[in-house]
């Protein structure tokens, strides 16, 4: 871990979203000796001085942190958004009066569709998109388990690595600036779209999709997703999609997908930003998407 320079010390990051990933990234910053402010929802975790509990295997760490709600005070120059896809735009809008004119906003959320909308709505802000394979689950408010180390990619189309990325490089996690971030987002979207809705609909662990009859449904979905992504100019993101999906299924065979967990917990799913986004893209290009449409409708129905 590199020691941060004084310029880096002047940057204060706010993290919006106190769920598993928001709390985990808060702990990464705090572990690296970088104070942050965590912004939770109104009426949820409260405000003021608080302690974040991080568990990794059997070891437990406790970090003091500053907790806020969106209506607290303080101008925000650097913001990391870690909410569910369906909450990103409303959560950012809620915080908008506090953001500096040219704020840096990093969004680490699943799915696609909200990126264009955010950039259009707030053209002066510098948006960066991210994906992570860090594993985490929240035991209780401000208590998070780091379930597995992964890799985090950040990037903004056509933008070289900015100076603030040094903050992220000092976190002691695997993290890199990705110049082809749209391809990376599409790659993750394609994998999630082939796995998550089927596991939610059949209420099964990921590994069940490796066996017939569900493996045949995965194959059909992969074919359709490949056609849609290719029509959008994202053929590179879906090269070998069936093999990639297979390898994710093998590696996470015992896991419950995030969508299945959402359904089981009675939370809104991210289907509109996964297969829902594919259906919209397909429509734009005149590509047929019957299987994705079916997934979209069935999961919406299930969540209802
Ligand atoms: O969304 C998820 O749950 C995961 O990204 C994965 C690996 C596709 C399914 O468990």
Supply the pLDDT for residue 13. Answer: 97
Please state which of the ranges 6-10, 110-114, 295-299 shows the lowest mean pLDDT.
6-10
Closest to 28 (Cα-Cα) out of 68, 59, 63, 57: 63
Supply the pLDDT for residue 1. Answer: 44
**Residue 238: inside a domain, yes or no?**
yes
% of residues, the chain, pLDDT over 70 = 96
- Nearest alpha carbon, ligand 1 atom 3: 257
For residue range 29-80, list pLDDT tens digits in order. 999 999 899 999 776 667 899 999 999 999 999 999 999 999 999 999 999 9
Query: What is the position in ligand 1's atom list of the atom closest to the CA of 133?
Result: 5
Pick the last residue of a domain from 179, 210, 230. Answer: 179
- Nearest alpha carbon, ligand 1 atom 9: 257
How far is C-alpha 298 from the geometric centre of its chain's CA atoms? Answer: 23
Average pLDDT of the segment spanning 210-233: 98
Pick the last residue of a domain from 149, 179, 209. Answer: 179
- Nearest alpha carbon, ligand 1 atom 6: 257
Angstrom distance (rounded) from CA 137 to CA 155: 25
Q: Could you identify the residue written with the tokens 């909450």?
A: 87
Residue 28: pLDDT over 60: yes
Average pLDDT of the segment spanning 171-180: 96
What's this model's pTM, rounded to 2 decimal places? Answer: 0.92
Pick the last residue of a domain from 130, 155, 179. Answer: 179
**Same structural domain for residues 133 and 234?**
no
Rounded to the nearest angstrom, the distance between the alpha carbon of 192 and the centre of ligand 1 is 6
Supply the pLDDT for residue 5. Answer: 54
Residue 230 belongs to domain with CATH number: 1.10.1040.10
Residue 26 belongs to domain with CATH number: 3.40.50.720
Angstrom distance (rounded) from CA 34 to CA 27: 10
Supply the pLDDT for residue 304. Answer: 77
**Same structural domain for residues 119 and 167?**
yes
Ligand 1 touching residue 199 (CB < 6 A): no
Average pLDDT of the segment spanning 222-241: 98
Supply the pLDDT for residue 147. Answer: 87
Ligand 1 touching residue 152 (CB < 6 A): no
| 188 in active site | yes
Say how many domains are in the chain: 2
**Same structural domain for residues 85 and 120?**
yes
**Same structural domain for residues 225 and 88?**
no
Residue 265: pLDDT over 50: yes
- Nearest alpha carbon, ligand 1 atom 4: 257
- Nearest alpha carbon, ligand 1 atom 1: 258
**Same structural domain for residues 218 and 287?**
yes
**Same structural domain for residues 190 and 165?**
no
**Same structural domain for residues 101 and 192?**
no
Rounded to the nearest angstrom, the distance between the alpha carbon of 72 and the centre of ligand 1 is 34
Neighbours of 109 (CB within 10 A): 24
Ligand 1 touching residue 252 (CB < 6 A): yes
Rounded to the nearest angstrom, the distance between the alpha carbon of 258 and the centre of ligand 1 is 6
Ligand 1 touching residue 192 (CB < 6 A): yes
Rounded to the nearest angstrom, the distance between the alpha carbon of 186 and the centre of ligand 1 is 14
**Residue 3: inside a domain, yes or no?**
no
Kindly indicate the confidence band of residue 150, based on its pLDDT and cuts at 50, 70 and 90. Answer: very high
Query: What is the position in ligand 1's atom list of the atom closest to the CA of 251?
Result: 7
Ligand 1 touching residue 196 (CB < 6 A): yes
For residue range 108-146, list pLDDT tens digits in order. 999 999 999 999 999 999 999 999 999 888 999 999 999
**Same structural domain for residues 28 and 152?**
yes
Residue 85: pLDDT over 90: yes
Residue 232's domain comprises: 183-303
**Residue 280: inside a domain, yes or no?**
yes
Angstrom distance (rounded) from CA 15 to CA 78: 9
């Amino acid at each position: 871990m590199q020691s941060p320079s004084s310029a880096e010390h002047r940057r204060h990051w706010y993290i919006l979203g106190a769920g598993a990933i928001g709390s985990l990234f808060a702990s990464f910053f705090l572990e690296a000796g970088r104070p942050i402010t965590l912004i939770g929802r109104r009426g949820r975790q409260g405000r003021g001085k608080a302690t974040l509990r991080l568990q990794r295997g059997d070891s437990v760490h406790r970090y003091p942190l500053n907790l806020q709600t969106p209506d607290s005070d303080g101008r925000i120059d650097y913001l990391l958004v870690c909410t569910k896809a369906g909450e990103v735009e409303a959560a950012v809008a809620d915080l908008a009066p506090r953001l500096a004119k040219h704020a840096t906003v990093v969004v680490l959320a699943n799915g696609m569709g909200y990126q264009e909308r955010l950039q259009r709505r707030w053209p002066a802000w510098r948006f960066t998109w991210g994906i992570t394979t860090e594993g985490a689950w929240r035991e209780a408010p401000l208590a998070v388990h780091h379930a597995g180390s992964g890799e985090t990619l950040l990037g903004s189309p056509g933008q070289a690595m900015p100076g603030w990325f040094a903050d992220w490089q000092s976190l002691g996690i695997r993290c890199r600036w990705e110049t082809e971030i749209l391809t990376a987002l599409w790659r993750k979207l394609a994998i999630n779209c082939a796995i998550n809705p089927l596991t939610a609909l059949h209420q099964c662990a990921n590994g069940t999709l490796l066996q017939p009859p569900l493996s045949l449904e995965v194959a059909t979905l992969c074919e359709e997703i490949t056609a849609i992504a290719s029509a959008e100019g994202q053929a590179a993101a879906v090269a070998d999609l069936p093999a990639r999906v297979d390898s994710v299924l093998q590696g996470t065979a015992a896991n419950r997908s995030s969508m299945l967990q959402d359904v089981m917990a009675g939370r809104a799913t991210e289907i509109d930003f996964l297969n829902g986004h594919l259906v919209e893209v397909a429509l734009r290009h005149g590509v047929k998407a019957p299987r994705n449409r079916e997934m979209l409708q069935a999961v919406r129905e299930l969540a209802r």
